[in-house]
Amino acid sequence: MENQDLVCRALYEFNLTQLSIVAALEDMTALVGKVSYLSPEVVDSLNRHLETVGRNCDRSCEAMYALVTLKAEMPD
């Protein structure tokens, strides 16, 4: 397998991992909203934390693709 194929495979796997994390975050957000004994403040706080994790996942993905793009554009 060539280096480019390895990079593409790694990005594909990374993307699947990120999608799994986002799906889990969505499930956790829905679950937090259904837990009746949590105060609204706790629910808001948990949802903010989950949103932060989601944004960080998006930034990770963007950074990873930016690195690959930068490397591809750099001359040897």
| 43-59 per-position pLDDT tens digit | 899 889 989 988 888 88
User: What domain count does the chain have?
Assistant: 1
Q: Which stretches of the chain are assigned E, i.e. beta strand?
A: none
- Report pLDDT digits (tens) over 4-62: 788 888 888 888 888 888 889 889 888 988 888 889 899 899 889 989 988 888 888 88
- Give the separation between CA 39 and CA 21, rounded to whole angstroms: 26
Give the Cα-Cα-Cα angle 23, 24, 26 (nearest 5 degrees).
Answer: 65
Among residues 46, 25, 26, which one has the least CA distance to residue 37?
Answer: 46
Q: Which domain holds residue 63?
A: 3-73
| Nearest alpha-carbon partner for 29 in 58, 61, 54 | 54
Q: What is the pTM of this model?
A: 0.68
